[in-house]
Structure 1
Amino acid sequence: MSGFVRARGTFAALATAGAAVTALLAAPSAVAAPQPVVGGSTTTTGAYPFVMQITDASQNQFCGGTLVSPTKVVTAAHCMAGETPRSVRVVGGRTYRNGTDGTVVRVDRIWVHPGYTRVTDGDDVAVLTLSAPMPHTPVKYVSSSDTSVYAAGTTARVLGWGTTRENGAASQQLRTATVPVVSDASCRGSYGSGFVASDMVCAGLASGGVDTCQGDSGGPLVIGGVLAGITSWGEGCARAGQPGVYSRLTTFSGLVAAQVASQPRARDT
């Protein structure tokens, strides 16, 4: 793999074989502005109430997340690198990154997949347990048997507050776009050994132009109204022949279910 690889969260530089991997994060320690969905359109958290902002303690958004139960949020493992429950907040019902509305909840516990090391190795999934329930509607997530959702050409929806172009300015408003699922063979042709089919799924147009980007890490890939993936990484943003790479949630649904079943400690927000 060569070129500039983004890990779609804060503009985080993650070393990988011969390439600078940037998680699609928008972390406060980032060296460049976070970026929103490329080639999409603006939308609201009223339309997608399960989409969460993940912020630092000062409510600066650096990743996205998906509410899958009143107290559980699924996000990317790379979003949680160096974070502690004390350093993170989850904000629901806030369409604008710089808004003051919505519901801000502290994090009680962070679970990161124990096998995670870096985005291009897979296992890029984390679950946040909130200290109080979110008053917003969760979304269902895939089970381990739902592998047919990833059929090539299937339409998927992505959402996030990332940049609207590679290395561009941050979007203040939540954005969304639809992209087709890419076959494993085609994705392997784009990323070679960097694509781990058991853990990852690709989505994007062969011609490029529509994609997630920096700042979108951890956000949802929704197929048929169900959470099927987590925004993870890619080479550049919206480049032809370089689709976005998402965590294949069917692989991790059992682990996510175990976290969803665990109970948060009682604690004030």
Structure 2
Amino acid sequence: MCQFSRQLVLQLILYFAIGHIYGKQVFKSIVGGGAVIQQKYPYYVRLHYRGEFKCGGSLVRNNAVLTAAHCVEDFSVEELSIHADTINLDDNGVVRTIKYALVPKEYDKETKNYDVAVLILSSAIPSASVITLHKTAVAVGTSCLVIGHGYTKENGVVSNQLQEIHVPVVSRKVCQHKYRGIGAITQYMMCASEPGRKDSCSGDSGGPMICNGKQAGIVSWGMGCGRVEYPSVYTDISKVHGFIEHALKLYA
């Protein structure tokens, strides 16, 4: 059996066993990063389903969270919750249930195009610190912060302590070339990684990419973790900002 076939079979087995893999795109943790030992990213939240950690997210309003659509697409809203003001999985922090999960009609489950969702919380978090969104495209080479509880290596386990890395933005043209024949890199996506050294990975999905002090991306998908050949793919906030603003206005 060729290497590609073995990989495909393994992904199918994992899909039916735990439901964490959709086609060739996997849930994305931090590879090559460092532990966050003090609360310095108060806008970061965890998304849980039935009490189990699933994804990251960010507070964009005291009662609204930004995350990836694939983090909520197959889950019952009533059984979702977010945990804020915490950097360790053993700490519940401030917990809120979800009132509405808004996913754009443009979202494509297979390609992960337009992979964004806005979650309206059951009640506001009065002390919430929110992140400002990046409304313009980020220049290639810009060093961006990514945080999450994802795997610290491919085929690893989630990280109990929040992790952080800085990765440079890769041009869309270069990223499209690297993913040729594997997945489409659309205008709604951006790519970043330090090849073979620093990357997001499984478990980081939905979490923020911060560039120039503002959230420019949402961890979305990629092939493996920390591979030289494949950068991680993020939803480009500047291209989906209209949906985010519309969703927030609906529940102002």
TM above 0.5, yes or no, is yes
- Does the 8 Å CA contact 1:11/1:22 hold for their aligned counterparts? no
Equivalent in the alignment of 1:198: 187
2:25 equivalent to 1:12:
no
Task: Report 1:111-130 matches (<5 A).
Answer: 111-118=102-109, 120-130=111-121
Q: Is the 8 A contact 2:70 2:112 kept in 1?
A: no
Alignment match of 1:42 (pick from 15, 27, 35)? 35
Task: Return structure 1 stretches of 4+ with deviation > 4 angstroms.
Answer: 2-6
**Structure 1 residue 157, shift from structure 2 partner:** 0.7
Distance change (3 Å), C-alpha of 1:161 and 1:43: same
- Tell me the residue number matched to 1:182: 170
Structure 2 segments unaligned to the other structure (5+ residues):
12-17
Name the SS of the counterpart of 1:255 in structure 2: helix
Note if contact 2:101-2:119 (Cα within 8 Å) is conserved in structure 1.
Answer: yes
Contact 2:112–2:220 (8 Å) recurs in 1: no
Alignment of 1:202-221 (within 5 A): 202-205=191-194, 207-221=195-209
Percent identity, aligned pairs only?
32
Corresponding residue to 2:243 among 235, 241, 255: 255
Q: Structure 1: 5+ residue runs without aligned partners?
A: 25-35, 265-269
Give yes or no for contact 1:162–1:216 (8 Å, CA) kept in 2.
Answer: yes
1:196 and 1:75, CA in 2 relative to 1: closer, same or farther beyond 3 A?
same
- Whether 2:79 is the aligned partner of 1:87: answer yes
Question: How far does residue 47 in structure 1 lie from its aligned partner after superposition?
Answer: 0.3
Aligned counterparts of 1:44 and 1:109: Cα–Cα separation in 2: 32
The CA distance in 2 between the partners of 1:208 and 1:113, in whole Å, is 33
Which of 96, 99, 103 lines up with 2:88 in the alignment?
96
Match of 1:57 in 2: 50
Query: Taking structure 1 as reference, are residues 138 and 209 closer, same or farther at Cα in structure 2, changes over 3 Å only?
Result: same
C-alpha separation between the residues in 1 aligned to 2:224 and 2:134? 28
The alpha carbon displacement at 1:174 in A equals 0.5
Query: Take 1:224 and 1:140, find their aligned partners in 2: how far apart are those partners?
Result: 10
Across the two proteins, how many residue pairs are aligned to each other?
238
SS at match of 1:214: coil
Change in Cα spacing, 1:57 to 1:13, as seen in structure 2 (3 Å) is: closer
1:243 aligns with 2:243: no
- Root-mean-square deviation (CA), in Å? 2.0
Secondary structure of the equivalent of 2:173? helix
Q: Secondary structure of 2:240's match?
A: helix
